[in-house]
């Protein structure tokens, strides 16, 4: 469990636990390996768990009855995910699935909460995390309402490629990208072609490569 101890040190909420509390966490953890597209739970499930991502990437997805899907958010290596059901007893609002093969550590939510409430610093960290997520949702809504498609697409691409890297594995289909920027696949395809022709990036079925991050950042800031 040395891997888990190292991960806990950098976790936003669980990292605030004392050394002894982290030891208790490691004894309760279940290590799971998720295949690409494997669902951890489905929209509407009562899911009472907390997870920490050791490697890979997860995504929260809403599926429509006609087969379309919308990626609400993505969760990266080192991030925690706290179930909504833990806090309100209501069903999960989206499906959580692996965007790529991933390794996670999973706990029963009640076990984690019992330890959490012993530590006021970790309670504050959890509240800060939840408020940050609310602010991010508000920012997303504002972008969809007021920013042009090119700016929204540039922002999404920048979020997919870590700041200190030039390329990343592509985890989203064209339809998913279109839904995330509130546009059509045809418009997204034309916009991506334009950005590639300008030399800003290259997108293949498997990867996204940035050639001019600064130019994309300027597009995000464009009115």
- Tens digit of each residue's pLDDT (9 = 90 or more) over 133-175: 888 877 777 766 678 889 989 999 998 888 778 888 888 888 8
Domain boundary among 122, 142, 162: 142
Segments forming the whole domain that contains residue 183 = 147-221
How far apart CA 194 and CA 74 sit, in angstroms, is 26
Mean pLDDT along residues 199-216:
91
Label the pairing between strands 207-210 and 201-203.
antiparallel
Would you say 39 and 45 are in contact if contact means Cβ atoms under 8 Å apart?
A: no
Q: What is the pLDDT of residue 223?
A: 44
Q: Does 138 lie in the same domain as 194? A: no
How far apart CA 200 and CA 211 sit, in angstroms, is 5
Q: Does 59 lie in the same domain as 108? A: yes
Mutual angle of helices 185-197 and 149-160, in 10-degree steps: 70
The residues with which 51 forms a beta bridge, in sequence order, are 81, 106
Alpha helices by DSSP H, the chain: 2-10, 19-28, 84-88, 109-116, 120-146, 149-160, 174-180, 185-197, 213-221
Would you say 182 and 191 are in contact if contact means Cβ atoms under 8 Å apart?
A: no
Q: Does 20 lie in the same domain as 120? A: yes
Number of domains making up the chain: 2
Nearest residue to 83 via CA among 121, 118, 126? 126
Q: Does 62 lie in the same domain as 33? A: yes
Q: Does 68 lie in the same domain as 35? A: yes
Q: Does 59 lie in the same domain as 24? A: yes
Q: What is the pLDDT of residue 201?
A: 92
Domain boundary among 94, 115, 142: 142
Q: Which two tokens stand for residue 155?
A: 């922002």
Geometric angle at alpha carbon 187, from 186 and 192, rounded to 5°: 100
Q: Does 158 lie in the same domain as 123? A: no
Number of residues assigned to the chain? 223
> What's the CATH number where 44 sits?
2.60.120.10
Given a cut of 80, is residue 5 above it in pLDDT?
yes
Q: Does 155 lie in the same domain as 121? A: no
Q: Does 117 lie in the same domain as 36? A: yes
Domain boundary among 111, 142, 173: 142
**This prediction's pTM:** 0.76
| pLDDT, tens digit, 9 for 90 and up, residues 93-122 | 999 999 999 999 999 999 999 999 999 999
How far apart CA 66 and CA 40 sit, in angstroms, is 22
| pLDDT, tens digit, 9 for 90 and up, residues 50-106 | 999 999 999 999 877 777 778 888 899 999 999 999 999 999 999 999 999 999 999
Q: What is the pLDDT of residue 205?
A: 87
Q: What is the pLDDT of residue 1?
A: 62
Q: Does 160 lie in the same domain as 114? A: no
């Amino acid at each position: 469990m040395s891997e888990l101890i190292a991960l806990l040190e950098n976790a936003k909420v669980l990292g605030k636990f004392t050394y002894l509390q982290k030891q208790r966490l490691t004894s309760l953890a279940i290590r799971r390996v998720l295949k690409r597209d494997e669902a951890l739970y489905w929209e509407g499930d009562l899911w009472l768990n907390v997870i920490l991502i050791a490697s890979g990437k997860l995504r929260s997805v809403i599926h429509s009855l006609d087969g379309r899907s919308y990626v609400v958010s993505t969760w990266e290596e080192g991030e925690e995910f706290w179930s909504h059901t833990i806090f309100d007893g209501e069903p999960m609002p989206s499906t959580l699935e692996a965007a790529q093969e991933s390794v996670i550590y999973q706990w029963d939510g009640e076990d984690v909460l019992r330890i959490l409430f012993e530590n006021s610093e970790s309670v504050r960290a959890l509240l800060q995390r939840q408020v940050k997520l609310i602010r991010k949702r508000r920012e997303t809504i504002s972008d969809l309402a007021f920013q042009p498609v090119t700016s929204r697409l540039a922002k999404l691409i920048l979020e997919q490629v870590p700041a200190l890297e030039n390329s990343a594995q592509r985890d989203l289909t064209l339809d998913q990208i279109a839904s995330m920027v509130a546009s059509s696949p045809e418009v997204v395809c034309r916009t991506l072609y334009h950005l590639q022709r300008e030399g800003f990036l290259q997108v293949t079925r498997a990867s996204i490569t940035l050639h001019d991050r600064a130019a994309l950042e300027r597009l995000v800031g464009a009115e």
